[in-house]
Structure 1
């Protein structure tokens, strides 16, 4: 079994998944709606910024979280935005699950070495 061939098969399986197809279809529906695209882009940027700040400082920025929640409520009122966000969440969850499965192998190879422990 060639790992690279299997990785390509995984890529193909992801492309054929309902989560991926629905996410791509939702992306196409909002394409060209520049105001909605910009609002979604701003929403994602605020999410990423808040997550990065939380990781670096170890605490949640309540003001940023309030802004994100308010923007989320506004977006969920728009049927296209709501559909897009829901599809994105489902797709992201699937990718996260795949990553978790892969990380089991990665952790086995790195866990002991990073902590100074030896694997027998």
Structure 2
């Protein structure tokens, strides 16, 4: 039987060779080649991170911060390179979520079985 870590490294290689990853890489490069798009995208990502950190710590997001996030989102939607990047990110995220479900299926089945036995 193959070593589980070897299989994981093979999966990493397959992800790097996937269409989803290649499209993400190209979209990211296109954004980085345009100074204005790069700055808008970087600012949006920074704002996203700050708001996520606040939510994780239970801190309330102010109305001003929510408006700022909405304005930032509207600004980035006007750049086709950024919207292409965000779309590619979504496709990549979907693939990784699907892979995660496949990988964790034995645990889900195990704990599902244990929960059924305890009822």
Q: Give the structure 1 partner of residue 56 of structure 2.
A: 55
Q: Give the structure 2 partner of residue 24 of structure 1.
A: 25
* Greater length-normalized contact order (CA 8 Å, ≥ 6 residues apart): 2
Distance 1:101 1:63 in 2: 41
Q: Where do 4+ consecutive residues of structure 1 move more than 3 Å? A: 58-63, 99-108
Alignment RMSD (CA, Å) = 2.8
Post-superposition Cα deviations, 1:13-60, rounded to whole Å, max 9, x if no partner, equal: 111222111100101212221221111111011111111100101645
Q: Closer, same or farther in 2 for the Cα pair 1:9/1:28, shift >3 Å?
A: same
Instruction: Using structure 2 for the length normalisation, give the TM-score.
Output: 0.75
Q: Please list every run of 5 or more consecutive structure 1 residues that lacks an aligned counterpart in the other structure.
A: 112-120
Report the CA distance between 1:107 and its aligned residue.
7.9
Distance 1:52 1:104 in 2: 29
Q: Closer, same or farther in 2 for the Cα pair 1:66/1:104, shift >3 Å?
A: farther
